[in-house]
Every structure is written in structure tokens, then in C-alpha cells.
A and B are shown apart, each in its own frame.
Chain A
Amino acid sequence: MKRYSIFAVAREAMRYHAGWERAWRSPAPKKRYKVVVVGAGGHGLATAYYLGKVHGITDVAVIEKGWLGGGNTGRNTTIIRSNYLQDPSAAIYEKARALYENLSQDLNYNIMFSPRGLLMLGQTEHEVRGYQRTVHANALQGIETRWIGPQEVKKIVPILNIDGPRYPVLGALYQERGGTARHDAVAWGYARACSAMGMDIIQQCDVTGIRRDGNRVQGVSTTKGEIDCDQLALVVAGHSSVLAEKAGFRLPIESVALQAWVSEPIKPCMDVVVMANTVHGYMSQSDKGEMVIGGGTDGYNNYTQRGSWHHVEETTRALVETFPIISRLKMLRQWGGIVDMTGDRSPILSKTPVEGIFVNCGWGTGGFKAIPGSGYAMAELIARGQSPLADAFGLERFREGRFIDESVAAGVAH
């Protein structure tokens, strides 16, 4: 791998940019790997990367039925934060956020991490109490967040209407080191680094079956042939249930559509991420100037990567009330992704009933921000059979009633 640097840019400028090599190789699959990761999204690639970097396991293939980063990695609203209430979630999301801080240098690939700050608005007394509790919890967890009043909110976000008739802004949970990153670059950067370590990234390779020898995984059958492996990691978000069924077990997952959309580009007007969970919408401004907007999930099972229009209407209506200046904006694009929701809205990083198969799924609506931490914990789980960060996220928690109850506790967006 040739390193990217200012000298490389200067060198290539002298020779018509003819010397740039492909960021990653696209080899034919080998017959056998030590570890096969299914799913070349952010989580799958990060899993492979930390397997190599931290644990020295580079006999790895990452196989992907579509194209790299073409699922939820390319469909989210790129928000990064770690202001969670429960200790296990705070730990893994903060690990991820901390890794994001230096990820560009680590990968030698500019992922455009922008810790611009993130506000979660408190718009009801209940929400205010909830967020103040989160601030106290974060202080104990070593995560830097604070509660700020409405005037400071207005100072940070001048375009915000804090005196809304229905839901006035009573304050906000502020994480200054939260922000955004370029989502595609995260996948590309990890892919490039994995390929440089000698791992094979195999795109357009659909897994058609999972082969077992008794209760032990043997390998996968794919559209590009049979691939054997010692260990198999399923990191496929919305399609986790489909692959689990091929492996012969069932997951506590339901797949639903989550949508996002962007406006036409406008001049810089908001340099933080704002989440308004009571009215149910969140917005940030991309580097191109588009207002990036996300809203709620549909309530019914869906694999179509299309959602219902009324969510677009509800969220846009709520945000127009919150940010009156966007009322004349035209919306440019809208898209959907299939998110994997668990019963407690917390992820699953776990061994499975089949020996050698691991799952990393259930990130639901909050996966992008977790990518480095998720990959780090998953790699440790695969390499060592145990990971402190992943311990609480095992499948057995559903049987034991040991939920990580973020869906009501932290006031997350869904």
C-alpha cells in the first residue's frame, strides 16, 4: 500500500496522477480462511481490521453480496456520539468515539471526523430530567457531556426556535466531542487498511448457505464457490435473521426501514448536530451544505430499503417548527436502510448456538457511531473468545432478562 501524504499528492501532481493505485484489491476467494466475515459494511470491515491490527490474524476474508459500504454504512446520517445512560453502552460507544478521534491517522485515510458538538434538545420536563440524569451518569463513566440552558442553546444554534409554542426548548444535553464523519470514507479506509494487511475483500458474493459439521461451522456456500473457515462472523445488520436461519438458529431481531433525506445545499448555518427527540427529528449540515435529516422508523417488518412517506412528512414538519428557516428548502434526495431492531434496542455481539459462528448485529438505528468500537470488541471476541466491551451484549441476556434498556432510558432517537 502506498501511503497517502502531501508528498504523494505533490509527486502525483507532477505525473498527471497516473501513479495512484487501487485502494484495495479484489481477488478471487481462496478455498479456506481462518476467519470469514460476512458483510463489508463498516462493522464487518472494522472487525477484520482489528483482527489483524490487534490480534495478528490476517488470514481473513470479508465477503459482501453487494458493494462495499453500500448498505446502512452509506445510508445513515453520520452522527457520532456516546452520551448513553447505561454503562455497557456508554463503554462501547465511547470506545468507538475515542477511536474515531485518531482514525484518519490510524488508517492513513481521511475519514473527515468532525467533532463539531452535538445537542440533544430537552423539550419536555420529563426529557429534561432524563437528560440531566444522563449527564450525571456520563460524569461517572468518564464521558464529557454537560447540561446547558436554553440561552446557551440559542447561542450555539442561532437558527433554532427555542420559543416554539408546543415544545419550547428547555435546555440540551451537550456533547462537545460528538459530531460527524464521512460515512463512505470509514468503510473505504478500513477496506484499504485490511487489504494492505493481506486480507481478501470479495464483493458481489452472496452467501447462499452456511455449512456445518454437527454443531461446528465448516464454511459458507457462496455465489463464488465454497469457502471454508474456522470462524465465521455474521455482520450483516438488516439481513441478520436471514443468515441466522441459514445457520440454523433464530435471533431476537426484526428488520424495519429507517429513512433519511437531504435538502439542497445552502450556506453554512449550523455547525453542530441537533437532535430533537420529542418532536422526532435530527439535523446537521454536511460539508457540501446540505441539511441532513433523519427521522423515525416504520413499525412493520420490511426489507425493501424504502420507507413510508408519512415519516418524511412528520419529521420535516417537526423540524420546520424547530428550525423555521428551513421551511422554504427543497429536499433533494431521500432514501431508506434496513435496520435490525432488538427487543431492548441494544446491539448483539455474541457467540451463537453454533460453535465458531459469531454475530454482530442489532445496532438498529445507531450503528454508524459505533463502528470502530464494535469492530474492536468483535475482533477481541473472535480472537480470544471473550471481550470486556462485548460481555453485556451476549444473546443470553434475552433469556436471563438482563436487558440494556437504552430505548426508554437515554431518550435515544428511536
Chain B
Amino acid sequence: MLSLTCPCCGITAEETEFHPGGEAHLKRFGPGSSDDDFEGYLFGRKNPKGVHFERWRHSHGCGKWFLVARCTATLEVFASYSAQTTTPPVDVIKAIKAKRPDWEGYA
């Protein structure tokens, strides 16, 4: 059972209060983009064994979307942060680096 903190309302709760929304920071490719880009945006996923950035919604709470940095190999949660970012913020990267010195970084 994951325990997550919603950065929008500040509440920490068990995962049943939230709903997962898949990989975060996807760059949207819409009309006019190449087939490769569009396919990658719709279906291509990093699905890493390790540090993963993902979207969650506080569905049984404030209802807001937010982002979480989490390890898929241990279920450790590094940080949760605002969904209004296109890349992980510096402090989140730092928090991950502190616990996973070998992590290759966000790419």
C-alpha cells in the first residue's frame, strides 16, 4: 500500500484515496506531427525498473492532479510535486540523487 502526499491540499493518505494516471512529463504531439512522434506520445512508455515519474489524481480528496517521483523496484516514494511542470524540479532531482546516487538522471 503506497502512502502519498498531495501537494495541492497537503494531505497524506493511502493509495486508495488516489488514482494513478501513468507516466508524467509526456510531450504532446498533435496534428501536424510525424507518425513516429505521435505513436511515441500515445503508446511509447519508458516503464523503467527504478526511478519513475508519474501522474496521480487525488480523486477522493481535492480532485487535483499532481506528480510523484517513485521507485518501481522498491515502491519508495521520493517526492510529490505540482503538475504544472514540464520536467521534474531541481529539488525533486536532488531528493532522488540523495537516495539513488547511481541514477542516471532525468532524460
Residues of A within 8 A of B (CB): 239, 241-242, 245, 250-255, 298-304, 306, 308-310, 343, 398-399
Interface positions of B from 10 to 48, Cβ below 8 Å from A: 15-16, 19-20, 22-23, 35-36, 39-40, 42-48
Residue of A nearest to B56 (CB): A300
B42: chain A residues at CB < 8 Å are 343, 398
In the complex, are the beta carbons of A241 and B1 less than 8 A apart?
A: no
A398 vs B52: C-alpha distance when bound (angstroms) = 23
**Cα-based distance from A304 to B48 in the complex (angstroms):** 12
Given A299-B20, A301-B52, check contact A255 B75 (CB 8 Å): no
Check B47 against A254 for contact (C-beta < 8 Å): yes
Do the beta carbons of A253 and B47 come within 8 Å of each other?
Answer: yes
The answer to whether A242 touches B22 (Cβ under 8 A) is no
Closest residue on chain B to residue A240 by CB atoms = B47
Excluding A241-B46, A301-B23, A303-B72, 14 further A-B contacts by CB distance (< 8 Å) are A253-B47, A254-B23, A254-B45, A299-B19, A299-B20, A300-B70, A301-B54, A301-B72, A303-B73, A310-B16, A343-B42, A343-B43, A398-B43, A399-B36
Check if A399 sits within 8 Å of B35, measured CB to CB: yes
Please list the residues of chain B having a beta carbon within 8 angstroms of any beta carbon in chain A: 1-2, 15-16, 19-20, 22-23, 35-36, 39-40, 42-49, 52, 54, 70, 72-75
Chain A residues with Cβ below 8 Å from B22 are 254
Tell whether A300 pairs with B35 under 8 Å between CB atoms, given A252-B43, A255-B47.
no
Contact B54 A303 (CB under 8 A): no
26 A-B contact pairs sorted by A residue (CB < 8 Å)? A239-B49, A241-B48, A241-B49, A242-B47, A245-B46, A250-B40, A250-B44, A250-B45, A250-B46, A251-B44, A252-B44, A252-B45, A254-B22, A255-B47, A255-B49, A300-B54, A301-B47, A303-B72, A303-B73, A304-B73, A304-B75, A306-B75, A308-B1, A308-B2, A310-B16, A398-B39
